[in-house]
Chain A
């Protein structure tokens, strides 16, 4: 599986935007970029995913570099409830039936009031 690299931790202030980076220099053309987050003592929660184009949803935006070797998850206005570990995951869709996700270490986001 192609690997992702994320900072171990980041800090932000409440109501400010947060940009969480992810490097995936060995990404292949069939890899989707997924982001999940995990609050303490809970299961992960889907945030967003994309392939080539930037994506927006009610939770966040995903900006994908033109060469796809990196991406950035953008939380437009951080709240205290956004404090979590954020995982950037590549999922290879070759074969059409690979749905499993392999989690890396993720980025621990701390939001200061």
Chain B
């Protein structure tokens, strides 16, 4: 299967600082990526859809000025949590839709590939 990598896997920061999380598709190109947030013992909540070369589409109730998304290349999307506060502490997960793969046809198989998640703790 295709691999999606997130970095960092864990980050601790002070309240008021900004934190950037990277999501990379390692062996395929992805024009569309998604960012989710998951609180303990809860399900994943979709935050936004990240489209390469265009503005992200945010879900209702998600502050776009607080959660900045950049998808500048076909293999990288970043989520920046600006002026983080303790209530932003969560598990952030990205996923990617395979658009094309090196040496392959790239036809979408219907599955999304998820990263391993990034755990943010804001003190």
The CA-CA distance from A38 to B32 in the complex, in Å, is 21
Residue A69 at the chain B interface, CB threshold 8 Å: no
Of B11-19, B43-51, B76-84, the segment with at least 4 beta carbons within 8 Å of chain A is B43-51
Known contacts A43-B93, A43-B115, A44-B93, A100 near B110 by CB under 8 Å: no
**B68 interfacial by beta-carbon distance below 8 Å:** no
List A contacts of B34 (CB < 8 A).
99-101
Q: Are A43 and B95 in contact, CB atoms less than 8 angstroms apart?
A: yes
Query: A94: shortest Cβ distance to chain B, in Å?
Result: 15
Q: Is B28 an interface residue (CB 8 A)?
A: no
A interface SS class: loop
Q: Which residue of B lies closest to A48 (CB)?
A: B111
A49–B110 contact, CB under 8 A? yes
Which A residues are CB-close (under 8 A) to B36? 103
- A49-B109 Cα distance, complex, nearest whole Å: 10
- The A-contacting residues of B in range 52-107, CB under 8 angstroms, are 91, 93-95, 97
Interface flags, A34-55, vs B, CB<8A=1, else 0: 1010100111111001000000
List of A residues within 8 angstroms of B45 by Cβ: 103
Does B114 lie within 8 Å of A104, measured CB to CB?
no
Measured CB to CB, the nearest residue on chain B to A108 is B41
Contact of A87 with B114 in the complex, beta carbons under 8 Å: no
Q: Is A105 an interface residue (CB 8 A)?
A: yes
Q: Is B112 an interface residue (CB 8 A)?
A: yes
The chain A residue sitting closest to B116, CB to CB, is A43
Shortest Cβ gap from B77 to chain A (Å): 14
Residue of A whose beta carbon sits closest to that of B96: A99
Chain B residues lying within 8 Å of A25, measured Cβ to Cβ, are none
A45 to B115, CA, bound (A): 9
Q: What's the minimum C-beta distance from A20 to chain B, rounded to whole angstroms?
A: 16
Given contacts A46-B112, A99-B112, contact A104 B32 (CB under 8 A): no
Of B43, B94, B112, which one neighbours A105 at CB under 8 angstroms?
Answer: B43
Given A99-B34, A102-B46, A103-B45, 11 more pairs with CB closer than 8 A: A43-B4, A43-B6, A43-B95, A46-B112, A87-B43, A99-B112, A100-B34, A101-B34, A103-B36, A104-B43, A105-B43
